């Protein structure tokens, strides 16, 4: 336990020897993944718990309230013909009523409270395996590793993703964001949400700085080159996304043309 705490403190305070010691472990990615799982489980349990608690404490909105809220949202974003509006709003009311009836259906065998508890466990356990956690770690790891090698990096991909996982430690502060959100949900004071935004920015900047440090140690690069590797990796990822969109558009136009010719 002490080892993990001193690891977390050393990593959060950018101690080079902590990163280097971590890198030398044969099971560096396993250790990094454990760090990520612990952080994600704590954050996931709080986020999901806050959601469930808010649902339990706050009175369930009535059908009429939900219909009114959805209709208001629609009106604010509707720019179509005015004569169509009442008809669409009617469908929205009916649709909301249908969804409301579906949500009100009782589970077949297991009581709703137990189902809700199981869902909380499911959401919590799944958190580290979501794209925003281990998915980003691996995707970023692949691109940064090859960009780093191009800039003279000497690490392995396991070392980079293992050390990169340490950059998730600042996300423990998301627990504070979740608690702030709970207060917002219970009191209705939306202004408190600004504290959540501020925490979000601190987490982002701290995590990025730690990822630069992790890349620098894992790939044996200077901090400047580590930043360069991350920027190059980001640019390549954006380039690929744009490329895929262009191919999809060209494919869509080609297929559309075929159907046009057929018609």
Partner 1 sequence: MKEYLQLIVGGLFLQEETYAKMRDVAKPFGKGLVIVAGIGLVVGVLNYIGAIIDYATKPSLEQLKATVFQGLTGMAWYTQLEASREFVTQFKNGYDLFWQYAGSMFVRNPLSVMEISNVVLIPLGLIIGWLIYGLLAHLFARLLRGDGQLGRGLGALALATSPQIFQIVAVIPAGGVGIGVIGLWSLVGNYLALKTAYRLTPARAFWAAILPLVVYAVVILVLALVGFLAIAAAIRGGGR
Contacts (CB under 8 A) with partner 1, residues 188-247 = none
Q: One symbol per residue from 128 to 157: x for binding partner 1 (CB under 8 A), - otherwise; what is it?
A: -xxxxxxx--xx-xx---x--x------xx
Size of residue set near partner 1 by CB under 8 A: 54
> Of 167 and 180, which CB lies nearer to partner 1 in the complex structure?
167
Q: In terms of CB distance, is 17 or 106 closer to partner 1?
A: 106
Q: Is 102 in the site for partner 1 (CB under 8 A)?
A: yes
Comparing CB distances to partner 1, the nearer of 59 and 260 is: 260
- The window from 9-17, 22-30, 77-85, 229-237 that contacts partner 1 (CB under 8 A) reads 22-30
Based on the shown chain and the rule CB under 8 A, indicate whether residue 64 belongs to the binding site for partner 1. Answer: no
The only residue of 9, 62, 119, 239 in contact with partner 1, by rule CB under 8 A: 119
Contact between 57 and partner 1 (CB under 8 A)? no
Per-residue three-class SS string for the chain: CHHHHHHHHHHHCCCHHHHHHHHHCCCHHHHHHHHHHHHHHHHHHHHHHHHHHHHHHCCCCCHHHHHHHHHHHHHHHCCCCHHHHHHHHHHHHHHHHHHHHHHHCCCCCCCHHHHHHHHHHHHHHHHHHCHHHHHHHHHHHHHHHHHHHHCCCCCCHHHHHHHHHHHHHHHHHHHHHHHHHHHHHHHCCHHHHHHHHHHHHHHHHHHHHHHHHHHHHHHCCCHHHHHHHHHHHHHHHHHHHHHHHHHHHHHHHHHHHHHHHHC
Catalog residues that contact partner 1 under the rule CB under 8 A: 26-27, 29-30, 33, 87, 90-91, 94-95, 97-98, 101-102, 105-110, 114-115, 118-123, 125-126, 129-135, 138-139, 141-142, 146, 149, 156-158, 161, 251, 255, 258-259, 261-263
């Amino acid at each position: 336990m002490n080892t993990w705490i001193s690891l977390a403190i050393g990593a959060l305070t950018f101690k080079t020897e902590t990163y280097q010691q971590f890198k030398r472990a044969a099971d560096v990615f396993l250790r990094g993944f454990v760090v990520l799982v612990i952080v994600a489980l704590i954050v996931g349990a709080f986020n999901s718990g806050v959601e469930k608690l808010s649902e339990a404490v706050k009175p369930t909105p009535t059908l009429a309230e939900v219909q009114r809220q959805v209709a208001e949202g629609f009106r604010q974003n509707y720019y179509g013909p005015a004569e169509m509006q009442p008809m669409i709003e009617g469908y929205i009311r009916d649709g909301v009523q249908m969804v409301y009836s579906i949500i009100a259906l009782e589970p077949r065998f297991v009581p709703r409270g137990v189902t809700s508890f199981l869902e909380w466990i499911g959401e919590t356990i799944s958190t580290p395996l979501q794209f925003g956690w281990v998915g980003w770690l691996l995707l970023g790891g692949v691109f940064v590793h090859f960009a780093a090698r191009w800039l003279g990096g000497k690490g392995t991909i396991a070392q980079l993703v293992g050390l990169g996982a340490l950059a998730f430690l600042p996300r423990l502060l998301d627990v504070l964001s979740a608690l702030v959100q709970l207060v917002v949900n219970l009191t209705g004071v939306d202004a408190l949400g600004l504290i959540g935004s501020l925490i979000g920015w601190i987490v982002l900047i701290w995590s990025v700085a730690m990822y630069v440090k992790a890349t620098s140690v894992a790939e044996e690069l200077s901090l400047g080159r580590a930043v360069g590797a991350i920027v190059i990796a980001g640019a390549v990822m954006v380039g690929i996304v744009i490329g895929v969109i262009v191919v999809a558009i060209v494919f869509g136009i080609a297929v559309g043309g075929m159907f046009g010719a057929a018609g």
